[in-house]
Chain A
Amino acid sequence: MVSNLAVAILNGIVWGLIMALIALGLNMIFGLLHIINMAHGALYMLGAVVAWYVIELTGNFWIGLMVAPLCVGFIGLIIERGLIRTIEDKPIITIICTFGLMLAVQQLVLMIFGGSPRRISPPIAYRFPLFELQYPAMRIMIALISIAMMIGLWIFLRKTKYGLWMRAVVQDREMAVALGIPVTKVYMWTFVLGSALAAFSGVLAAPIVSVEFMMGREVLIMAFIIVIVGGMGNLEGSVIAAIMISLIQGVGALFVPPSIATVFALAFMIIVLLFRPQGLFGE
């Protein structure tokens, strides 16, 4: 029992950190562009699929982890410049547009990649003993990479010029324009960064889950939950909410069926939406 609990807690934290990265991308885009990106889950899936091809070609997981976010970030660039830019002031229309994009990307992957799930084997096969069970060291590695990524993101937002601009645009767009900040460029790079983050987490998740064209659908919903519970536009809130919810789901699944745990999480989210639309950790 103790070992099961330990595994559940570790899994919850690892998965929570991956979800945090996904939710961070979604939340950055929302906080800045006020867009709900329905295609975010599809970009996450695309990251894993691109990585699968790269790994097939090179046989190296780490190259996949580098290349996939770059490719998907570039696709994000095209999406932002080509589509979102023209409709950015109509939030409901952007939801529909990105929903169409989600369908198109999923089906394109279905056509090229096929419908059957595939696996990416973890580059680190070592398992360390955990009480009477064994735990794959790769998952710890994934957690560490996620944490490093978040620290990098934090430094980027706090210490660089672009980070300063992004925070300025979130606070007051008009004033940012008046001060000469290239707002449209900031929008673009935020979307690119958000897309690349989704792809990065897709590659990180690939050794744990299987790679298939629908893998982004449920993740998108979980990311929504996290962003809302943590507070829209509140990045720290997203990280806390991601780990909290994953832990509750992971540990809860030991005691009740996982679907019931999800229903409770969703009901909880409705309550948050109704009574604290600014999120649990908002002011």
Chain B
Amino acid sequence: MFIQKGKSFGFILIFILILLLLTALPFFVDLFYQTFLTELFVWILFAISFDLIFGYTGLLSFGQALFFGLGGYTVTILIRKFGLNTELSLFLSIIIPILFAWFVGFFSVKLTGIHFVIITIIFAIIGNIIGDTWTSFTGGADGLTFSPPPFRLGLFQIDLTDIKGNYYFVLAIVAISFLFLRRMIQSPLGKIFISIRENEERARLIGYNVQRYKLIAFIIAGGLSGLAGGLYSLTLKYASAGYLHWSVSGHAVVYTIVGGMGTLVGPAIGVGIVMSLEHYLINFLQATDLVVGIALVFMVLVAPKGLVGLIQSIFKKGETSA
């Protein structure tokens, strides 16, 4: 188990150090990299929410794009068409995907294995087709742009059109979400999720209502994916039907597998590595997904537990030989 109570202190120390580093970073890098990092944080949130449903609960959902897109559209449409403030729009970008995740999950968790994968893809495709077709409301494939009003919370106010302000805003929310997820996974609820992944039959025999807990995991992951979508459109000031395409869920799969599923830290590292790789490769290669695809196949075959699993096994070998 990667996360143990005894390691809590060390984790908090490292977490604070990384946070401090990231807080200082905007003073050293230019605006381009600030935007790049902000997007990276958003994808971390998307990846760790996927890790909850896949890495911890064992459900491979290709439907997360639906909730991501819904979150993005909630923020965009509420601000652009209804003139709502940013605080409430972002809050609703969690709530609305949660309601949809409830609906989708209600049907999906009745199925297992491959059938679950396929039904989640179908729901995402339906969302994508509706987004593509209903252009008067969603802007279709061209999408919608908007300009967010400042985020206010009491006396505290932050201008999201300022790249640096947006950077800190996203960083804070993603950090809080990360701690929230980590806390939840350590809680009894998290243990139930893991027990479902390890042995669904046994979890049922112990007396847990497996479908209910799967639904809970699905709803929480959906809400956080929605938040990621909301933050993404706040960062780009834009949302389009492309957000809803099921292949967006594929991003989360890539990050989680490369970094190491069921670790939370792993998917975050996976986002960092894959996105940096893509960023540098784009100079030589127009088709960056080629490397992503090969990396995915390679990791699945060689290190199915991802980079975190790989590092762990190296350390364990070191311990036994020392």
List the interface of chain A (C-beta within 8 A of B).
36, 83, 86-87, 91-93, 95-97, 99-108, 110-111, 217, 221, 224, 228, 257, 259-260, 262-263, 266-267, 269-270, 273-274, 277
Contacts and interface: CB of A to CB of B under 8 A. Distances in A.
A108 B290 contact: yes
Chain B CB within 10 Å, residue with most, of A92, A217, A269: A92
Interface stretch (B66-74, B116-124, B149-157, B160-168): B116-124
Contact of B121 (A96, A100, A101, A221): A221
Main secondary structure of the interface of B (DSSP, over half): helix
B253 interface: yes
Interface string B97-139: 0000000000100110111011101110110011011000000
Contact of B119 (A106, A221, A260, A270): A270
A273 B115 contact: yes
The 6 A-B residue pairs with the shortest CB-CB distance, nearest first, are A100-B296, A103-B293, A104-B293, A107-B290, A107-B287, A100-B297
Given A83-B301, A107-B293, 16 more contacts: A86-B301, A87-B300, A92-B113, A95-B60, A99-B253, A100-B295, A100-B297, A103-B290, A103-B293, A104-B297, A217-B247, A263-B129, A267-B126, A270-B123, A273-B115, A273-B119
Given A87-B301, A262-B129, A263-B126, A103 B296 contact: yes
Contact of B113 (A87, A91, A99): A91
Given A36-B117, A260-B133, A102 B301 contact: no
Nearest to A257: B133
B62 to A, nearest CB: 9
A270 to B, nearest CB: 6
Given A100-B300, A274-B107, A266 B119 contact: no
A274 B132 CA distance: 26
Interface of B: 60, 107, 110-111, 113-115, 117-119, 121-123, 125-126, 129-130, 132-133, 247, 250, 253-254, 257, 285-290, 292-297, 300-301, 304
Contacts of A110: 286-287
B253 to A, nearest CB: 6
A274 B253 CA distance: 25
Contacts of B295: 100
Nearest to A264: B126
Contact of B304 (A93, A266, A274): A93
Contacts of B293: 100-107
